Amino acid sequence: MSPLSFDTGRDAPRTMSRMAFGLTGSEILRIAGEVRALKASGSSVLDLTVGDFDPKQFRIPAALESRIADALAKGETNYPPSNGMPALRDAIVRLFARDLGLDYPADGVVVAGGARPIIYATYRALVNPGDHVVYPVPSWNNNHYVHLTGAKGIPIETGPGSRFLPDAAMLRPHLRDARMLALCSPQNPTGTCFDAEGLKPICDLVLEENARRGSDEPPLYVMYDQVYWMLTFGGTRHVTPVGLDPRMAPWTIFVDGASKGFAATGLRVGWGVGPPAIIKRMSDTIGHMGAWAPRAEQVAVAGFLDDAAAMTEFRTSFHGDVRRRLELLHEGFQSMKTAGLPTDSIAPMGAIYLTVHIGAKGRTTPDGRVLASGDDVRRYLLEAAAFALVPFNCFASPSENWYRCSVGAVSEDDIRGALPRLRAALAALR
């Protein structure tokens, strides 16, 4: 048998849609590839690049794992309803009421195969090609969802002064023409969170803008991605647009799921919560894609969400394990700063991420190379200190010298072992 040939003799752009040809791959995956190659060569790298959990460090809750096995054994293996298993949607309604103080009806909840299809369905339900979608940068993937849906992205540059979160003054000039504002808290990649003082004025702007628009004009919506909301630290309390002002309910779509809160990224159970009429269209979109969450996992998550004792036990230990890793890193960066090295970090607030500053651009390595960009700095630290992090450039941000550290795949000992290597590599720069 000879191998099949796929050479059509046509230019690549002619062989596929403009959307598909213009889609850019993940920058983080390119970096992850470099890290993998280094690991394969025997180096023990501190891998802070992946926004995922290594099950050797963070297992899913045991009570959830056993419920999945039980559900499979009971034959929960056929199609789930396209908006999600009723038991799970009801459990999500109770979770929102209990933990967020929000009283949603069950038809305001849709379940999908992770939070990603919920984001895609939100864009699809609200945004027409050419519509403006406003999002702060650095941002996780909004640039890609904008491309997928033909929207016009309006990235708003943020900086360390606002902990890389947007504020009302930054957003105000851009909301008049916008169809959707995409917000995330706790935020990927920064690990920083809105507080009521920051989010409430943004809600006021949205309400003001929708009051200004005539009833024949499309309204402005907020997509509020809160997949990390169970992970907040150091006195930070998760806040939501609807919790701060119930008048935001018609204009807010929550993106949420089990992936991050239960270290369960591979289970693929996410949910969206919002106005029933919009949720219905999102559910239809998800149904046509077949992007459902697996049925057994849905049954298991439903039972787990209602198992208050198991939830509390898991959340307490998981929370502490993530927090200690973030604090160790933060203390390491602060102690290097005190020692006069060009580093800084923002105290952990939420998610599995720490924002760090490494002002080594323009410095010269011991072998005489000038580090001309943030990516040069990243590569130097990978080679000289086996310390792997992701520059904010990978999150559509122009901010050089700022990086994301993700702690989902490393132990406390790994971090303790790597900090001296980083310190030595930075001290060796001229």
Interface with ligand PLP (CB under 6 A): 51, 114-116, 140, 184, 188, 225, 227, 257, 259, 265, 270
Taking the least distance from each CB to ligand PLP, the nearer of 114 and 138 is: 114
Contacts (Cβ under 8 Å, ≥6 apart) of 235 = none
Of all residues in the shown chain, the one whose CB is closest to ligand PLP is 114
How deeply is 289 buried, as exposed, middle or buried, from its count of CB atoms within 10 A (0-12, 13-18, 19+)?
A: middle
DSSP β-ladder status, 178-184 and 221-225: parallel
Taking the least distance from each CB to ligand PLP, the nearer of 89 and 423 is: 89
State how far the alpha carbon of 185 is from the alpha carbons of 115, 147, 153, 180, 356, in Å.
14, 22, 19, 16, 18
Taking the least distance from each CB to ligand PLP, the nearer of 142 and 210 is: 142
In angstroms, what is the minimal distance from the CB of 212 to ligand PLP?
A: 30
In angstroms, what is the minimal distance from the CB of 270 to ligand PLP?
A: 4
Taking the least distance from each CB to ligand PLP, the nearer of 142 and 343 is: 142
In angstroms, what is the minimal distance from the CB of 188 to ligand PLP?
A: 4
Contact 23, 377 (CB under 8 A): no
Cα separation, 233 vs 284, in Å, equals: 37
Taking the least distance from each CB to ligand PLP, the nearer of 104 and 228 is: 228
Cα separation, 407 vs 363, in Å, equals: 27
In angstroms, what is the minimal distance from the CB of 295 to ligand PLP?
A: 17
In angstroms, what is the minimal distance from the CB of 181 to ligand PLP?
A: 15
In angstroms, what is the minimal distance from the CB of 291 to ligand PLP?
A: 10
Taking the least distance from each CB to ligand PLP, the nearer of 82 and 188 is: 188
Token pair listed for 298? 């849905």
State how far the alpha carbon of 241 is from the alpha carbons of 95, 118, 246, 324, in Å.
17, 18, 8, 29
Taking the least distance from each CB to ligand PLP, the nearer of 264 and 336 is: 264
Residue 154 has φ and ψ, to the nearest 5°, of -120, 85
How deeply is 211 buried, as exposed, middle or buried, from its count of CB atoms within 10 A (0-12, 13-18, 19+)?
A: exposed
Name the 3-class secondary structure at 256: strand
Contact 349, 233 (CB under 8 A): yes
In angstroms, what is the minimal distance from the CB of 81 to ligand PLP?
A: 20
Taking the least distance from each CB to ligand PLP, the nearer of 228 and 380 is: 228
Contact 46, 410 (CB under 8 A): yes
In angstroms, what is the minimal distance from the CB of 267 to ligand PLP?
A: 9
In angstroms, what is the minimal distance from the CB of 141 to ligand PLP?
A: 7
Q: Which helix (H) or strand (E) holds 202?
A: helix 196-212
List the beta strands (DSSP E) in 36-139. 46-47, 109-112, 132-137
Cα separation, 155 vs 61, in Å, equals: 37
Taking the least distance from each CB to ligand PLP, the nearer of 114 and 303 is: 114
